[in-house]
Amino acid sequence: MLVQEATTMIVPTTAEVLVVGAGPAGLAAACTLRANGVEVVVVDAAPEPSTSSRAIVIHSRTLEVMEGLGIVEGVLKEGLIIGEGLIRNRQGILGSIGFAALKAKYPMVVSLAQADTERILKQRLEALGGSVHRGAQVVKVSENEDGVLVEINTSDSTSYIQTQYVIAADGRKSCIREQLGIPFEGGGYNHQFILADIRLLRTGPLRPDVFQEFLSPANLLLYIPLPRNIWRVVATVDHATGEEDMSVFQRLTDERAGPGVKIDEMMWSSRFRIQHGLAARYRKGRVFLAGDAAHCHPPVGGQGMNIGIQDGVRLSNILTEALHDGKTTEADLDRYERERRPIAKDVVALAHQGTVINTLESPVLCVLRDWVIWALTKIPPVRYAIAYRLSGLGYA
């Protein structure tokens, strides 16, 4: 395989597998393929990697998968280990989720900026002899007798890649999924989310090894610690302008968490209207969907990047068997959808339920919700079951 840096814009003309998208799912897929001895090319439309934190939660099952990828040591070294999550309202703690109690090799949650996770994956890919070709936009995929012909536009030319299989890991608005005509079934929510990475002058009730969720009628506030004394703050609002400054996050913190937390600096912020969705199919011919191209969900529970990475690894092992062992029947190739789509469906439902529960508008229902959380999390098996489900260990 021809290996070139992204700035050259030179993309190979052939590959056994083409991975479209250099996010966590695409990079995990590429690393797995290279480790399995498969000729893989990775392209991404963005000219540069993103530097924003975005997805920051890595669960126990994903850490196990990362061990197989050869990156878990780097993730644990750079990330921040979180052993517990607290659910609160203004009156106090309603309940806790104990990740440190998980019966697993990695009984924890790790918080790490997505940009750092992608960098670690990319370094692993390069160590395996691969690379990412940036500024390369896929405009058309078409099957032929030799596999799939993919048309790619760069800043100064149009080129073609002939490949056996394509992994479309090109995000929630996947152009490949749209080209294939695969429906994306789901819906949206009334609330918008705003988020920021901040530094604190005073931490109040916050702890550097615990994430804390503050509930109030119709509103949610979440504080998650990150490495280097940074905190991710997430809040629901009825309408976001995109110009929310530090004072907005301070006001929402005062209103929902109470006094004691003082924001000192804001490094990055964003807004988004959350959605949930699931592709009707994960495969059409020799083209497969992975990660956000196949499913999207609210950030509650921090599931998206995790199952995307797991998608990429499982799909790549199936394609390795197709290429190296001749497992190319419809039933062989459909294993990916049969295995992974039910998991995504369950995770989408989990995140949807969590979002609805966390943003109840009725004060009466909120009181009932808070009482139920308080009562259930006093029962050790229930508390363990919540941590276990969020961890993804049940999907191993």
Q: Which pTM was predicted?
A: 0.93
The per-residue pLDDT for 90 is: 85
Burial class (CB in 10 A: 0-12, 13-18, 19+), 378: exposed
Does residue 239 have a pLDDT over 80? no
The per-residue pLDDT for 3 is: 38
Q: In this predicted model, what pLDDT tens digit does every residue of 357-381 receive, in sequence order?
A: 888 889 999 999 999 999 999 999 9
Pick the closest to residue 290 from 29, 17, 16 (CA basis): 29
Does residue 6 have a pLDDT over 70? no
Residues 6+ away with beta carbon under 8 Å from 162? 13, 14, 15, 146, 147, 148, 149, 150
Mean pLDDT, the chain, rounded, equals: 92
The per-residue pLDDT for 300 is: 81
Please give the Cα distance from 169 to 176 (Å, whole number): 9
Q: Is 229 left (phi over 0), alpha (psi -120 to 50) or beta?
A: left
Q: In this predicted model, what pLDDT tens digit does every residue of 108-141 receive, in sequence order?
A: 999 999 999 999 999 999 999 999 999 999 999 9
Q: How many residues does the chain have?
A: 396
Does residue 293 have a pLDDT over 90? yes
Instruction: Give one DSSP letter per residue of 305-362, joined into a string.
Output: HHHHHHHHHHHHHHHHHHHHH---SHHHHTHHHHHHHHHHHHHHHHHHHHHHHHT---
pLDDT-above-70 percentage for the chain: 97
Domains along the sequence of the chain with CATH: 6-53+114-183+280-351 (3.50.50.60), 57-112+360-395 (no CATH), 187-275 (3.30.70.2450)
Does residue 190 have a pLDDT over 90? no
Please give the Cα distance from 311 to 313 (Å, whole number): 6
Predicted confidence band of residue 216 (pLDDT cuts 50, 70, 90): confident
Q: In this predicted model, what pLDDT tens digit does every residue of 304-358 receive, in sequence order?
A: 899 999 999 999 999 999 999 999 999 999 999 999 999 999 999 988 888 888 8
The per-residue pLDDT for 9 is: 55
Mean pLDDT confidence for 300-305 = 86
The per-residue pLDDT for 54 is: 86
Phi and psi, residue 23, nearest 5°? -85, -170
DSSP three-state, residue 52? coil
As given in the structure block, the two tokens for residue 202 are 């005073």
Does residue 150 have a pLDDT over 80? yes
Q: In this predicted model, what pLDDT tens digit does every residue of 242-292 receive, in sequence order?
A: 778 899 999 999 999 988 999 999 998 988 777 889 999 999 999 999 999
